[in-house]
Amino acid sequence: MLNRWFAVATYLDELPDTLEREVSLIHPACEKAIELNHPNPLFRSSITDAVGRCYREHQSSMRLDPGAQTFSWRVPAEAVSPSKWNDTVILTLPVPELLWAVETVCPKRRKQELAPFENLIKGLARAFCCATGSRPTVSFDNGRERGYGLFWKLVEIVLPAVRALTAGTGKPFRQPASKSALAKKIKRILDGEDMVQLIEYEVKKSKGELPDLP
């Protein structure tokens, strides 16, 4: 039961009511950054989705008060009773038991502090490919401490919005500290085997060279 609770609890935190509205404010700037001449509803939806997934991932990375004795979290009621599938309940667990669940069910989760950032970049990369039909790339001039490329411009627009949205959670949004480190991290993400394959697929699909996945 505890394992099931922790598995479903990962995605419980609701998105703030203002998220979609706040992200919509940067849609025109995002389109301009990647040189789209007209509003692109699919691109806008993909940007909102990428930010929303990042927000959920950020929320799910728990930081417990070392002095706390218990930790409360809203979970689907079906985690407690299978007959209550369309409701939520407040579940309170002793901190030692909760920490045991964290280590047992997904021991690496607390160590992946950059996971929300990484997933954001992956979501933005997919949105970029679908909208432009091109592969996202970034370059960086260490002398001028400046990044280049359409995808870099897109990231620079989205990141401040994400930081503003997550500021109200009480958890600082983690990202590489310097611009040079940011560029290197983005390159590593884009060069990952899974992303290379995804990018190749999305580029071909945007050009009509592949059918949609079922």
Beta bridge mates, 71: 93
The answer to whether 75 and 86 are in contact (CB under 8 A) is: no
The chain-wide mean pLDDT, for the chain, equals: 78
Where exactly are the structural domains of the chain? 2-206
Closest CA to 151 of 48, 47, 52, 56: 47
Q: In the chain, which ranges are E strands? A: 70-76, 88-94, 139-141, 146-148
| pLDDT value for 91 | 56
Cα separation, 7 vs 106, whole angstroms: 9
| pLDDT value for 161 | 94
**Mean pLDDT, 10 residues at a time, over the chain (214 residues)?**
38 64 95 95 95 86 53 54 53 58 51 83 94 93 89 96 86 89 94 89 83 55
